[in-house]
Structure 1
Amino acid sequence: MLRISLLLLLLLSTNLLFAQKKNQAQAQTNNAEGAITSKIKSYKSYKGYIEYFYDEKTDKIFLQIDKLDTELLYVVSLSAGIGSNDIGLDRLQLGGERIIKFAKRGPKVLMVEPNYRYRAISNNADERQAVEEAFAQSVLWGFKIEAEEGNKILVDATDFFIQDAHDVSGTLKSTGQGNYSVDKSRSAFYLPRTKNFPKNSEIEVTLTFTGQPAGGFIRSVTPTASSITVRQHHSFVELPDNNYKRRVFDPRAGYFSMGYYDYATPIDQPIEKRFITRHRLEKKDPNASLSEAVEPIIYYLDRGAPEPIRSALLDGARWWNQAFEAAGYKNAFQVELLPEDADPMDVRYNVINWVHRSTRGWSYGASVTDPRTGEIIKGHVSLGSLRVRQDYLIAEGLLAPYEEGKPVSKEMQELAVARLRQLSAHEVGHTIGLAHSYASSTEDLASVMDYPHPYVFLNNGKIDVSKAYDDKIGNWDKVAITWGYQDFPEGVNEEKALNDIIQQSLKNGLSFLSDQDARPTGSAHPYAHLWDNGKNPADELTRVLEVRAVALKNFGENNIKPGAPMATLEEVLVPIYFFHRYQIEATAKMIGGINYRYALRGDGQLITEMVSKEQQLKALNALLSTVTPATLLLSENIIKQIPPRPLGYGRHRELLKSRTDLAFDPLTAVETASDMTFAMLLHPARAARLIEHNGRNQNQPGLEFILDKLIEHTINAPEKMGIEGLAQQQINTSFINNLLKLATANESSAQVRGSALRKVQSIESSLNTKKYTQESWLSYRAAVLAKLTDFRVNPENYKPQQAPQPPPGQPIGQDFACDWH
């Protein structure tokens, strides 16, 4: 027994000695080869900006970091998306860009994001350090060191890349589609788009999210809604050199801005610094009136865009060369088809992407920008493919082109393609640094950075769409590019030269107003709006209503193709019935309106002025014409041609709401359309301005004056007969509902509530004494009085009735909704 024990002990010692010698031999080999070299010798190497290695056996990626404490740009994007505009996770969608650096801390490497929002632009290191330590930084990841070799560190970055860096799960949750998380067992690296280049490294992953679906949007675009697979892309990019020259932001010039707080600023100067975002562009000869660029700006179009769309997108984007030529550049802005071997996510390419969704949706002009300076490194446009079909649908509704025995007019496709040219120019404009310019539609289409409504007119009583969209860059666009991109010769006072460009544009009648002046439904500016036309909103509304009336008069079976179900007339009807909807919004802004500009002290611009009483009354009369049975009630000919939907053609979001089950409902259409006008007119902010303006100037129309006009037009109007009477009742109900909303809205001031309540009382009194003769009017009065009684008795518990919402209206698919309801 003792001999066996000694034998086992001897054997164990021999094995331990052998293992030790083997480990020593392996260590000597590793030292000879290098620890990293030994670790990755069986892995696939991707040489480039940050060299990395892929282990196919374990599906892991290892980063070789040799740039410690060196700042670089990190960009996350979504290369393969979900396809729902409502969710908002599209193919080729950019995420945010961040400056990061790798810092070694003991056995790990931290990915640190410095805080560039707060800086000290100073040569004093202590001053810079004081600011850096005053504000938090962000550590985005911690990597465990796998091996070191000289100044190189190898880390396993697999978990970093196989994470939800684009926050897909957060977006799904916030849009009500369910709670999802990454399932690593169904996720992997996507090698076809994992590449490396001298100045950027690109890694892509297939991510699968699992969870319980809760919303209809996600179910509509996924084969199995409990398992959602997308692809996310990670980019590490070398930052530009320090030769870019920043341009100080001017709110009058039309550019997006970037900024930061400089704590080294003298106390007599603003601490917040603002600069514009733009591409780097320099002339070969700054002294020449026309010079080639040192390096032109080149954009590339997605090869997935088919003809004739492809040519239209190329043409529209190329309009910008007109603006750069006006700024003194020769062929400085170019647009080409993306090379076959290029990746649209590669930061070396400015790209125009063609994106498919299940519904109409927004198009975007985004950029990858250097957070330090505002220099645009990559322009990235995403154009929704279904928008062109909406313009085609509008053309079908306007032209009724499918007349038996006649060829279909080419005007429809020409209109839709013209819109694509404008769309391409508009979104590229964003990626070169320009913001929306929403006053330009009142200044002879001065900018493609406005949102254009198709300009349709009557030519000898017939609808003409030949001038629906512009075919060139605008005068304001030339001013903006000259201001932002001009390369001034040495010795020129740049600040004065830039101001001279703006001053000359003001003399030429050009101005700039953007989103905050146009988008809110309660905003005050009478000339800044989306999807409008014309120098005067009220005149344009009257003109648009005339076009709409002709289109509806001609509406019938010729608006759909032979063989199409008659029920599909409703799809074509919707954009024509609501053809005036955005001109209503523009016109309503004249009521209680304030005309103003982004005035600087001493620049001579208008600061503020109230819209005149005459212009407000003109606008009010135009708006009242939109809430009459004559305008809103569809003809018997149209109503009887739209049957319930057949099998296979279910109801969807692009159709009118109905209270008559399967049958087409013309009266609810009246209610929906009239609610648009009253909701705009009776917005709390507009009502408050009416009271204020009247208090400052008795000649200005006050809120009670406007309310009296509305009551006269609705409640006190003569009793109409038959279907017209029913339409009038719907209009009156829309007015009363919006008046009650105004009286109860938290946003309404005490004066606004008081005025609204007084008018509610007068309406109740009027209805009690009114002599109605028709049964429908007597029933209507009973319903309204019951509503008003309920409101008077329980005002705290009263819940305003919401009108049925219209189908998505703008060509970008945004639902109409007041932001205070």
Structure 2
Amino acid sequence: MTASFTKLLWLLLLPLFLSNLAQAQSLPSIASKTEGMQRFPGYFTYYDDDATGKIWLEIDKLEQEFLYVNSLPAGLGSNDIGLDRGQLGDTKVVYFSKQGPKVMLVQPNLSYRALSQNQNERRAVEDSFAKSIIWGFKAEAADGNRILVDATDFLLRDAHDVIGSLKRSKQGSYRLDASRSALYLPRTKSFPKNTEFEATLTFTGGEDAGRFVREVAPDVQALTLRQHHSFIQLPDSKYKPRPSDPRAGYFGISYFDYATPVGEDIEKRFIARHRLQKKDPRAKVSEAVKPIIYYVDNGAPEPIRTALVEGGRWWNQAFEAAGYKDAFRVEVLPDTADPMDVRYNIIQWVHRSTRGWSYGASVVDPRTGEIIKGHVSLGSLRVRQDYMIAEGLLAPYEDEKSENKAMMDMALARIRQLSAHELGHTLGIMHNYAANNNASVMDYPHPQVKLDRTGKIDLSKAYDTGIGAWDKATVTYGYQDFPEGTDEKKALNEILAKGRSEGLLFIADRDARSPGGVHPTAHLWDNGKNATEELRNVLQVRDEALENFSEKNIKPGAAMSTLEDMLVPIYNYHRYQTEAVAKLIGGVNYSYAVRGDKQVVTEVVDKREQQKALTALLETISPEVLTVPERIIALIPPRAPGLRNSRELFEKRTGLTFDPLAAAEASADFTLSFLLHPERASHLVELGARSNSLSLQDVTQQLITNTWKSNRKKGLEEIVQLQTEQVVLTHLLALAHNENASYQARAVATATLKDLKGYIESKLRSKSQDGYQAHLTLALARLNNPVAEEVSPSRALDLPPGSPIGSGAVIGCD
């Protein structure tokens, strides 16, 4: 570089340098700017300006990364919209960067990295993918490298996207009203490793407020919630990420490392887990350097609070199996603690207007997968639902003094299990739907109700009372602390191999939740080693409960119309076992095998087992199962004034009166939606062509034989029978016209319909009884005019919700 060029460059840069120097000199000192304000030292020091209602943030960590999390400490109370108390937002790695007079809050793009010592290689990746500047601040005062900014607008913004949530759920167009929003100082605090801010925000508008908002808001034109902001020091570099394995059952993080050699996988995957180390990794059993402690919401009432503590403590059994002593504890949250404080792992008791999903969320370091904070949200109405199911099963109310301890025992047993289940998610563990028979609390449990020797319903072992074998194995995989020199990859494989040798299998959400799923053991809310045998047991329990169903299912003085509330879960008691049995038809056993682990890759379910499943499944749409007994119908009047008509009740086609036909229609439609699902139908075609399996023709022929061609019933059973046949027709028409089904599946459905049409035409010529004749005439008209509105199974009535209501049917929920 020549001297003349250097001089020219200096002359060009001098004005900019002088401008920055003048600006730096013109900024007041932090002390003078904050005179009279209350100072709160901590990870980030802040100042409370009570006169203006502002928060001033002192930034002394320029270009230093930290974690930023927003959350919702005071929610809306609507399960359908979400926005629950305690809901966590995303965890972001961010840093402050000074750019002239501005200070930017920058989020680097950690999804794409170059883990290389070569600075240029890292820069090439960083510059190839966008960063995000979350907020821009103006420097208002400075002392050397310490800068003061006004953080008020940043803290008073809608960081949790309440406005977007309301809009997406079609509950109204809202805007943030600054005049009705303010910082919430009781929950604004600073500690050595984290600084916590909270704000009260009011959202106005609501001229188009939806039903869910109207159910919970005192004034739909002003929704006031609180949002929380956490600035958290990043953990030190001593944590060692643990590689993810598809067989281990963990959530985790992933990113693309562009410094990876070409012959290796560019995507890196690591499990999410808390940091846990043994004091002596060489010892078979050792205390932890720092135990994991969870705190139960002190706002949960007794005896529920104790049940939550007891259920959460089950996990200590798993950590003991992994070689830890007293490494996992559950205690009650101190009155002085803030549930949103990142230092506390929380089991929070959340109230909503309707029962809904519970879920386990975590603050996870996006760089490594280390869990910083576990946060469980448990819906409080779930315990009441379980209690009501017990009431429906037992019909316990002989008189005003009647008590039945079994109902509360069952409800509390479920709460213990739920506490353990959701806490498991915050330990990093996924659902495992192949872990029935008490192998894991990470399955969804249906109450294991039996008939005792006298034929009476027994709830004594409705839910399990401890951690399962799978839970112990997966905690050992995730949390074992190996002594120095151990071949960790080999040791982890040995842990998984030991679990397989004990018959443990992991199957996750996608496989179990799909209505066209085929795994023979992966189901939600099912029981039993054999799904078909358990369906028969469940139907026996249902029969006994319906036989005993009477006014004794409600307390003396209760409106008789509330009997419908009790009837819903009993009439539909078999719904989940029905779903489980459907997946045996065309079923394929498989695992998340990796090359060389000697697991079953795929194995078609034996044709005889498929046939047993089909026979049992067709029983669920028989008139005997679907018809509500006359004596029960006579007990249920129209809804009493003051009692809500809710989606928890049966849908009706009869206006105000109880509609037993609608209940039967919804139940039949439920079974058929699984049996003739387009994915299952297409799969049955494929299996029938290449293996000794039931074919789609086998299924449709037996379906027609058991419905349209079965012996005629009398009375209400006859009407239920005719109605079910129309529902069968609906599903066959839908399959024949469903472009998502394979051509041959549609062809088989079309051929079945052609044969059925011939059968109906022959029956019409026989001039049978009027009701049956009308039924056949309608069916023939539908076959001759299969317009779109006639071929959609959604035209049938839906079952009332069995699973928790709302938008939480996702990974990490129950």
> Same fold judged by TM-score > 0.5?
yes
2:785 to 787, 790, 798: 790
1:652 to 633, 639, 646: 646
1:770-817 CA-partner distances (Å, limit 9, x unpaired): 1463322122122222222211xx569965561111111124668999
Unaligned runs of 5+ in 2: 1-23
In the TM superposition, what are the counterparts of 1:294-443 in structure 2 within 5 Å? 294-404=289-399, 407-441=402-436
In the TM superposition, what are the counterparts of 1:475-624 in structure 2 within 5 Å? 475-624=469-618
- Equivalent position SS for 2:656: coil
Matched, 1:266 2:261: yes
Whole-angstrom CA distance in 2 between matches of 1:813 and 1:199? 36
Whole-angstrom CA distance in 2 between matches of 1:816 and 1:475? 25
Equivalent residue for 2:112? 118
Does the Cα contact within 8 Å between 1:181 and 1:209 map onto a contact in 2? yes
Whole-angstrom CA distance in 1 between matches of 2:201 and 2:402? 50
Does the Cα contact within 8 Å between 1:213 and 1:226 map onto a contact in 2? no
Query: For the structure 1 residues 379 and 711, does the alpha-carbon distance in structure 2 shift closer, same or farther, using more than 3 Å as the test?
Result: same
Matched, 1:731 2:724: yes
Whole-angstrom CA distance in 2 between matches of 1:470 and 1:655? 29
In the TM superposition, what are the counterparts of 1:708-719 in structure 2 within 5 Å? 708-719=701-712
- Equivalent position SS for 2:173: strand
Whole-angstrom CA distance in 2 between matches of 1:296 and 1:814? 34
Displacement of 1:43 = 1.9
- Equivalent position SS for 1:440: coil
Displacement of 1:213 = 3.3
In the TM superposition, what are the counterparts of 1:790-809 in structure 2 within 5 Å? 790-791=785-786, 794=787, 802-809=795-802
- Equivalent position SS for 2:204: strand
- Equivalent position SS for 1:165: coil
Q: 352-361 or 247-256, which moves further after superposition?
A: 247-256
Q: 804-813 or 594-603, which moves further after superposition?
A: 804-813
Question: Which amino acid counterpart does residue 455 of structure 1 have in structure 2?
Answer: Q
Does the Cα contact within 8 Å between 1:807 and 1:815 map onto a contact in 2? no
Equivalent residue for 1:208? 202
Displacement of 1:514 = 0.8
Does the Cα contact within 8 Å between 1:107 and 1:145 map onto a contact in 2? yes
Q: 741-750 or 798-807, which moves further after superposition?
A: 798-807
Does the Cα contact within 8 Å between 2:27 and 2:141 map onto a contact in 1? no
Does the Cα contact within 8 Å between 1:438 and 1:514 map onto a contact in 2? yes
Equivalent residue for 2:7? none
Query: For the structure 1 residues 405 and 154, does the alpha-carbon distance in structure 2 shift closer, same or farther, using more than 3 Å as the test?
Result: closer
Equivalent residue for 1:179? 173
- Equivalent position SS for 1:671: helix
Higher relative contact order (CA 8 A, sep 6+): 2
1:164-211 CA-partner distances (Å, limit 9, x unpaired): 110111111111101111111111111111111111111101111112
1:736-760 CA-partner distances (Å, limit 9, x unpaired): 1111221222311222212112212
Matched, 1:109 2:103: yes
Does the Cα contact within 8 Å between 1:422 and 1:469 map onto a contact in 2? yes
Query: For the structure 1 residues 815 and 50, does the alpha-carbon distance in structure 2 shift closer, same or farther, using more than 3 Å as the test?
Result: closer
Equivalent residue for 2:658? 664
Whole-angstrom CA distance in 1 between matches of 2:193 and 2:183? 21
Question: Which amino acid counterpart does residue 304 of structure 1 have in structure 2?
Answer: G
Equivalent residue for 1:53? 47
- Equivalent position SS for 1:181: strand
Query: For the structure 1 residues 628 and 459, does the alpha-carbon distance in structure 2 shift closer, same or farther, using more than 3 Å as the test?
Result: same
Whole-angstrom CA distance in 2 between matches of 1:47 and 1:799? 64
Does the Cα contact within 8 Å between 1:537 and 1:586 map onto a contact in 2? yes
Q: 469-478 or 51-60, which moves further after superposition?
A: 51-60
Does the Cα contact within 8 Å between 2:389 and 2:569 map onto a contact in 1? yes
Unaligned runs of 5+ in 1: 1-29
- Among the aligned pairs, what percent are the same residue? 58
Displacement of 1:575 = 0.4
Whole-angstrom CA distance in 1 between matches of 2:388 and 2:806? 14
- Equivalent position SS for 2:463: coil
Whole-angstrom CA distance in 1 between matches of 2:27 and 2:784? 90
Equivalent residue for 1:10? none
Does the Cα contact within 8 Å between 1:360 and 1:812 map onto a contact in 2? yes
Whole-angstrom CA distance in 2 between matches of 1:583 and 1:797? 29
Does the Cα contact within 8 Å between 2:287 and 2:324 map onto a contact in 1? yes
- Equivalent position SS for 1:368: strand
Whole-angstrom CA distance in 1 between matches of 2:204 and 2:255? 40
Whole-angstrom CA distance in 2 between matches of 1:545 and 1:772? 37
Equivalent residue for 1:763? 756
2:696 to 692, 697, 703: 703
Q: 700-709 or 351-360, which moves further after superposition?
A: 700-709
Equivalent residue for 2:442? 449
Displacement of 1:42 = 2.1
Does the Cα contact within 8 Å between 1:300 and 1:349 map onto a contact in 2? yes
1:281-329 CA-partner distances (Å, limit 9, x unpaired): 0000111111100000000111100100000000000000011011110
Question: Which amino acid counterpart does residue 545 of structure 1 have in structure 2?
Answer: L
Whole-angstrom CA distance in 2 between matches of 1:572 and 1:135? 56
- Equivalent position SS for 1:249: coil
Does the Cα contact within 8 Å between 1:808 and 1:814 map onto a contact in 2? no
Whole-angstrom CA distance in 1 between matches of 2:477 and 2:577? 32
2:34 to 31, 34, 40: 40
1:682 to 653, 670, 676: 676
2:65 to 45, 66, 71: 71
Question: Which amino acid counterpart does residue 43 of structure 1 have in structure 2?
Answer: M
Does the Cα contact within 8 Å between 2:312 and 2:423 map onto a contact in 1? yes
Question: Which amino acid counterpart does residue 110 of structure 2 have in structure 1?
Answer: Y
- Equivalent position SS for 1:439: coil
Does the Cα contact within 8 Å between 2:67 and 2:231 map onto a contact in 1? yes
Whole-angstrom CA distance in 1 between matches of 2:450 and 2:801? 24
Query: For the structure 1 residues 666 and 583, does the alpha-carbon distance in structure 2 shift closer, same or farther, using more than 3 Å as the test?
Result: same
Query: For the structure 1 residues 285 and 84, does the alpha-carbon distance in structure 2 shift closer, same or farther, using more than 3 Å as the test?
Result: same
Does the Cα contact within 8 Å between 2:400 and 2:556 map onto a contact in 1? no
TM-score, normalised to structure 1's length? 0.93
Whole-angstrom CA distance in 2 between matches of 1:51 and 1:660? 66
- Equivalent position SS for 2:645: coil
Does the Cα contact within 8 Å between 2:357 and 2:809 map onto a contact in 1? no
1:124-152 CA-partner distances (Å, limit 9, x unpaired): 11111111111111111111111222111
Between the two proteins, the alignment pairs up a number of residues equal to 784
1:741 to 734, 747, 753: 734
Query: For the structure 1 residues 739 and 214, does the alpha-carbon distance in structure 2 shift closer, same or farther, using more than 3 Å as the test?
Result: farther
Displacement of 1:370 = 0.4
Q: 44-53 or 573-582, which moves further after superposition?
A: 44-53
4+ residue segments displaced more than 3 Å? 30-34, 794-801, 811-817
Does the Cα contact within 8 Å between 1:390 and 1:811 map onto a contact in 2? no
Whole-angstrom CA distance in 1 between matches of 2:544 and 2:264? 60
Equivalent residue for 2:146? 152
TM-score, normalised to structure 2's length? 0.94
Does the Cα contact within 8 Å between 1:525 and 1:596 map onto a contact in 2? yes
Whole-angstrom CA distance in 1 between matches of 2:217 and 2:739? 40
In the TM superposition, what are the counterparts of 1:136-285 in structure 2 within 5 Å? 136-211=130-205, 212-285=207-280
Q: 738-747 or 678-687, which moves further after superposition?
A: 738-747
Displacement of 1:625 = 0.6
Whole-angstrom CA distance in 2 between matches of 1:333 and 1:573? 42
- Equivalent position SS for 1:142: strand
1:514-566 CA-partner distances (Å, limit 9, x unpaired): 10110111112111011000111111111100110000000001100011011
Question: Which amino acid counterpart does residue 650 of structure 1 have in structure 2?
Answer: R
